Structure 1
Amino acid sequence: MTPQQYHVIALSSLGGAVAAGISDNDLGAISGYSLLSDNATLHAALWYPGSTSAIDLGTLGGVNSAVEWPNHALGEVVGISQTSQIDPLKEQWSCSYPAGSGFLPYTGQECRGFVSRFNRMRQLGTLGGNNSFATGSNIFGEVVGWAETSKRDPTCVAPQVLGFEAVRWGLEGDAHALPPLGQDPASAATAINDVGSVVGISGLCQNAVGALSAEHIVLWKDGIPHQLPTLGGSAWNTPMMLNDEGAVVGFSDRPGDNNGNNFNGHAFLWTSRNGTTDLGTLAGDAVSYAYSINNRNQIVGQSCTPGCASSRAFLYQHGTMYDLNTLLDSSSAGYSLIFANDISDEGTITGLAVSGAGSILAFRLVPNGGWSGSTMGASREGRSLPFRLRAGSFGRIMPNLTH
């Protein structure tokens, strides 16, 4: 089945040069992040249905905040924020590791997961440590992520000191640990569906982000971890999203990754019926990442050259990966879609794009309802990243604050 065409709706920033859409819920609200007018401060941002204006969600008292994962709690947004407290252990934590290249600009402040409702941010707790990280949520308001414990873990690599485990926060913010696999010391949860199943990673503490922290892919059912097969690599095996049928997508290293030092990962799809499937890349690319899947089993992500110096957003459906740039209608000419991070059950998509004028912006991609031509547009090379962008953690394109 040939995909329909899409129309790009550009979303405004909070005054800065970069904005990105990360989550698109079924009410049509998009959340993500944007630079402020100083082009140095990053804040979580919200775009209401039918609006292109960004709303600043603020912080938990610190400098920076962001939404970094698809999350689908109706009426709520979850993400990460720095607080006003300085981390006594001087860890860079998952939020800012490595300093200057993490999800948030490094400030030395503690980082916590948050829930924002009616644009009021509420802090999520830890498991006894100083930091936490919130990723996914479901329509019942349950939130998952990971949080530090009070235990010093010898498998951590400096500057990380404390160990961490996956967390499921209840409606009152109460934190419940989700254990790692077997003898693994660390775990992290990345997504939860409306059935209550949770996916995430299990491995070493290391730097508290990716690499050998993501040695294994985990599915928790009723709080019990079950190992899912990878694509054969030893690190960076990371599920990003699961739908209500239990289909899981993410990215996984392949053999030859040298313990994660030579990332060669591909997007994957896991189902209970077919196991783990390598989704490959767009023609000419080397690596790929699947970021989200909806309940119609449509998958979105990015495909790029090594190091993601050049990147294209993709849509995967019915066994085929499509370059989303080739599915844009004539009114959307000039836009280059760098990555697609979430897709709603209605088929709308959000992510990051570069306009013909060079603006780096969040987008809402709306299906036109049917493909009007007999063939799709010709595939084209990925867009080289403008100087305002860089490849961050596991290939995610982030603001380049060194310029």
Structure 2
Amino acid sequence: MPPRFACFPAPLLGLLLLAAIPTASATMYAERGFGERDGNGSIACDLNPAGLVAGIIMEEEGRRRAVTYQHGRIRELGTLGGNEGFTKAINTHGVVVGSAQTASGAWHAFRYDAAGGMRDLGTLGGTSSYATAITRDGMIAGYADTSAGDFHAFVTKADHSLQDLGTLGGASSYASGLNSHGVVVGTAQRGDGYRRAFVYRPGTGMQEIGTLPGGRISSATAINDAGLVVGASETQKRRWHAFAWDGKRMLDLGAMIGQGDSYATAVNAAGHVVGSVSIKGFEPMTFVYKEGVMTVRRRDDGLYLTNKITDAGLVVGAIYTGHKFQAFAVPSQAAPAPQRSNPLDWLLITILISASGVVLYKLQRNYRLGLLGARTRFM
């Protein structure tokens, strides 16, 4: 069984690469991995329009290294004085966010750009923090320890300090998505202990999204600039279903899939949603929901981990080779399914071959008779 990997408490999805230019005639380059040494794995957490990948090298011994990758070149982002780091998101300007270890071994959220290097974003008074999303203007969301020892969702202010977004009445909250309007989504604990998906709007505060009918818990993972929120919710039957929420109603994407547990992980500007489907006993599969149509990709045409979908329609995720993850991405349009053989097709072929044999025999016989001066009759 492959290892489970997380950029933060929820499963991390990512791996990938290719470079894509967001135009109608975009050229796409797909590679397996970042060219890492044998035994090491690679994960791409995000991809910007210039084809710059925010990723991770996973060493065979287990150490993680935060990297970017483009045109066959890896750039090591380093750490905050510790041994490990990982990326989570990248914006159009190439600014990367993630988390790295400090000299004391604590994990701190970071902001990285080529000019200034890695910057420690600090915490909310506790010992650790994790950055999960960034806008094109550089606003960052994530979660961090408070002095009380609980994680709280945060968003950065203009001076890059952390603003505590609070909770839904419980002890903890986690931000996982952010749009250019400063709207944050994630998961927060209520006073009764249940965790619910939330939307935080500047000047309004944190609002609970709710669940699918009969569910007790839910989680939001991403939001686009139009305000479409995606995530996963428990159902009445205690399964997990991916959902999309437009501010008025929650669309059950899992019900459209019809089986397994599903989790929506990303949404692009056009409202196309991607995520994973997990069916007991089988490897996860990628789903793509767009223009009202749900498609579950074949296992040989999808990703083991599904992380992001770019505005150009590239699904960023991970393949699993049997012993390690390798960076990869696929177009949102699924490849045509291989044609299945039909017994009737074989019957027709057999009849045609037999008929052809009879015709050839008659033609050959008639030809011989013609040479002998006999009358030729065609049937």
Q: Do both proteins adopt the same fold according to a TM-score greater than 0.5, normalized to the shorter chain? A: yes
| 2:56 is the counterpart of 1:83 | no
Deviation at 1:171, TM superposition (A): 4.3
2:318/2:329 contact within 8 Å kept: no
Which aligned pairs between 1:210-225 and structure 2 lie closer than 5 A? Answer: 215-223=195-203, 224-225=205-206
Q: 1:337 matched to which residue of 2?
A: 303
| 2:216 is the counterpart of 1:234 | yes
| 2:240 is the counterpart of 1:265 | yes
Instruction: Return the alpha-carbon distance in structure 2 between the equivalents of residues 178 and 187 of structure 1.
Output: 8
Which aligned pairs between 1:10-49 and structure 2 lie closer than 5 A? Answer: 10-15=32-37, 16-36=39-59, 38-48=60-70
In structure 2, give the amino acid aligned to 1:305.
Answer: I
Q: Cα deviations across residues 90-112 of structure 1 (Å, max 9, x unaligned)? A: xxxxxxxxxxxxxxxxxxx2111
1:11/1:53 contact within 8 Å kept: no
Which aligned pairs between 1:18-167 and structure 2 lie closer than 5 A? Answer: 18-36=41-59, 38-48=60-70, 51-68=71-88, 70-72=89-91, 74-85=93-104, 109-118=105-114, 120-151=117-148, 162-167=149-154
Q: 1:395 matched to which residue of 2?
A: none
In structure 2, give the amino acid aligned to 1:243.
Answer: N
Q: 1:244 matched to which residue of 2?
A: 225
The unaligned stretches of length 5 or more in structure 2 are 1-27, 341-379
Deviation at 1:76, TM superposition (A): 0.5
Output the TM-score relative to the length of structure 1.
Answer: 0.69
Q: 1:169 matched to which residue of 2?
A: 156
Instruction: Return the alpha-carbon distance in structure 2 between the equivalents of residues 216 and 351 of structure 1.
Output: 26
With 70-79 and 110-119 compared, the bigger mean Cα shift is at 70-79
Deviation at 1:302, TM superposition (A): 1.0
Instruction: Return the alpha-carbon distance in structure 1 between the equivalents of residues 318 and 298 of structure 2.
Output: 12
Q: 1:352 matched to which residue of 2?
A: 318
SS at match of 1:233: coil
Specify the structure having the higher radius of gyration (Cα). 2
* Change over 3 Å in CA distance of 1:39–1:284 after alignment to 2: farther
* Change over 3 Å in CA distance of 1:313–1:130 after alignment to 2: same
1:335/1:353 contact within 8 Å kept: no
Instruction: Return the alpha-carbon distance in structure 2 between the equivalents of residues 243 and 358 of structure 1.
Output: 35
Deviation at 1:128, TM superposition (A): 0.8
Deviation at 1:139, TM superposition (A): 0.7
| 2:175 is the counterpart of 1:189 | yes
Deviation at 1:222, TM superposition (A): 1.0
Q: 1:322 matched to which residue of 2?
A: 295
Flag the structure with more relative contact order, 1 or 2, with Cα contacts below 8 A and sequence separation at least 6: 1
Task: Figure out how many residues of one structure are paired with residues of the other and give that number.
Answer: 309
Identity %: 27
Q: Cα deviations across residues 349-400 of structure 1 (Å, max 9, x unaligned)? A: 2110135x97631113357xx88x9xx31599xxxxxxxxxxxxxxxxxxxx
Instruction: Return the alpha-carbon distance in structure 1 between the equivalents of residues 29 and 211 of structure 2.
Output: 35
| 2:276 is the counterpart of 1:289 | no
Deviation at 1:34, TM superposition (A): 1.9
Instruction: Return the alpha-carbon distance in structure 2 between the equivalents of residues 12 and 110 of structure 1.
Output: 27
2:257/2:294 contact within 8 Å kept: no
1:7/1:366 contact within 8 Å kept: no
Instruction: Return the alpha-carbon distance in structure 2 between the equivalents of residues 112 and 74 of structure 1.
Output: 22
Instruction: Return the alpha-carbon distance in structure 2 between the equivalents of residues 84 and 40 of structure 1.
Output: 19
Output the TM-score relative to the length of structure 2.
Answer: 0.73
In structure 2, give the amino acid aligned to 1:354.
Answer: Y
SS at match of 1:280: helix
Instruction: Return the alpha-carbon distance in structure 2 between the equivalents of residues 291 and 112 of structure 1.
Output: 23
Deviation at 1:134, TM superposition (A): 0.8
* Change over 3 Å in CA distance of 1:255–1:64 after alignment to 2: farther
1:165/1:177 contact within 8 Å kept: yes
